[in-house]
Amino acid sequence: MRSAESGVAIRAMTAADLAAAAHVWRLAFGTHFGAPEPARFREDMRFIETRFATDPATAFVAERNGRILGSIIGMDWGSMLVLGPLSVDPEYWGQGVARQLVARFLEAADGSGAGLTVLFTFPQSTVHLRLYESFGFVPMFLTPILAKTASGAAGAPGRLYSALPAQERGAALAACGSVAAAVREGLDLRRQVEAVAAQRLGETVLVEHEGRIAGLAICHLGPGSEAGEGVLFVKFAAVRPGAAADFERLLNAVEALAAARGLGRIALGVNTGRRDAYRRLISRGFRAEFMGIAMHRPDETGTLGPDQYVIDDWR
């Protein structure tokens, strides 16, 4: 797709684009957050590379005369498609590049079969809100990004997917699929579980109750992942709706994993529409570091019900 006015081409991302796209991501978000050296923002973390390796079909770049001006990338979670991150070189802010990238992404989303497209953005930014609202996204509840110092709690971190014998992994993945489908019909995180194992980004924690897998937590660990130095980052975690006790067991297992790996900090995102899940995390000492807002297209609640025990971060 090419804009005749700007000369900007929107095309599928390739592996050859990763270094340039990651540079633009750091520059864009480093500028947004006021980092002293934006181009070196969060060099201990990888977002573009991990998500492209997991699902290259959802990744696009904006290019002009061989220069990467921005990118958009997503996460295919079955019946839910996550948009983000979207990043544009600050030199080209306000010139329509972001709009072209979103339009191309949504073309792919509309043909994917996902019934719901979701994103995380900054509630204080009217520019971001107007951009996404113009494409039919609707603001939902706030999503605070929470963190706490790891407690060093003793105990076993549940079962780890990476430690399962090869012959047991298929059944474990099917059970993870069953948990996700109970949260939302068609929701599927199996690709994320396999990506974390294949890319050595961290661990997927599995907790059991009455002989079956009752919950999963997909965790990135340390530098080179989406977590960063010294951090356990919960990318996604869930138990079945209403299963508060299983949620507590899952959180205990996550804290035990952080202790076992010597990671001093745990970070995660939880939408405040999941009332009890949010309250339970606050009671454990998690505190907001910054705030986002969930936006949905079309206007439906998705996984944001008050009895949903789901942790996810769509940044």
Burial of 290 (0-12, 13-18, 19+ CB in 10 A): exposed
Count of CA atoms in the C-beta half-sphere (13 A) of 199: 26
Contact 140, 132 (CB under 8 A): no
In whole angstroms, what is the distance from residue 195 CA to residue 269 CA?
A: 20
Burial of 266 (0-12, 13-18, 19+ CB in 10 A): buried
> Does some domain include residue 52?
yes
Count of CA atoms in the C-beta half-sphere (13 A) of 26: 17
Tell which of 114, 138, 167 closes a domain. Answer: 114
In whole angstroms, what is the distance from residue 117 CA to residue 130 CA?
A: 17
Give phi and psi for 95, each to the nearest 5: -110, 15
The two tokens of residue 259 are 């202790």
pTM of the model: 0.95
- Domain match, 19 and 96 both: yes
In whole angstroms, what is the distance from residue 193 CA to residue 258 CA?
A: 18
Q: Tens of pLDDT along the chain (315 residues)?
A: 555 447 999 999 999 999 999 999 999 999 999 999 999 999 999 999 999 999 999 999 999 999 999 999 999 999 999 999 999 999 999 999 999 999 999 999 998 889 999 999 999 999 999 999 999 999 999 999 999 999 766 566 779 999 999 999 999 999 999 999 999 999 999 999 999 999 999 999 999 998 899 999 999 999 999 999 999 999 999 999 999 999 999 999 999 999 999 999 999 999 999 999 999 999 999 999 999 999 999 999 999 999 999 999 999
> Does some domain include residue 84?
yes
In whole angstroms, what is the distance from residue 79 CA to residue 184 CA?
A: 8
Give the chain's domain count: 2
Contact 61, 100 (CB under 8 A): no
> Does some domain include residue 1?
no
Instruction: Show the domain range for 110.
Output: 9-114
- Domain match, 105 and 185 both: no
> Does some domain include residue 53?
yes
User: Residue 105: helix, strand or coil by DSSP?
Assistant: helix
- Domain match, 151 and 94 both: no
Alpha-carbon torsion 174, 215, 254, 228, what sign?
positive
- Domain match, 162 and 265 both: yes
Contact 39, 78 (CB under 8 A): no
Which CATH number does the domain housing residue 29 bear? 3.40.630.30
- Domain match, 178 and 275 both: yes
Contact 242, 248 (CB under 8 A): no
Q: Which residues contact 190 (CB under 8 A, 6 or more apart)?
A: 173, 176, 177
- Domain match, 54 and 166 both: no
> Does some domain include residue 136?
no
Tell which of 114, 129, 155 closes a domain. Answer: 114
- Domain match, 164 and 281 both: yes
The two tokens of residue 172 are 């474990």
In whole angstroms, what is the distance from residue 61 CA to residue 22 CA?
A: 11
- Domain match, 285 and 232 both: yes
- Domain match, 90 and 179 both: no
Tell which of 114, 132, 164 closes a domain. Answer: 114
> Does some domain include residue 242?
yes
DSSP letter string over 120-133?
EE-TT-HHHHHHHH
> Does some domain include residue 121?
no
pLDDT in tens, 35-44: 999 999 999 9
> Does some domain include residue 4?
no
pLDDT in tens, 83-114: 999 999 999 999 999 999 999 999 999 988 89
CB neighbours of residue 55 within 10 Å: 18
- Domain match, 220 and 171 both: yes
For helices 244-260 and 275-283, angle between their N-to-C axes, nearest 10 degrees:
40
Q: Name beta bridge partners: 145.
A: 269, 290
- Domain match, 193 and 88 both: no
- Domain match, 181 and 284 both: yes
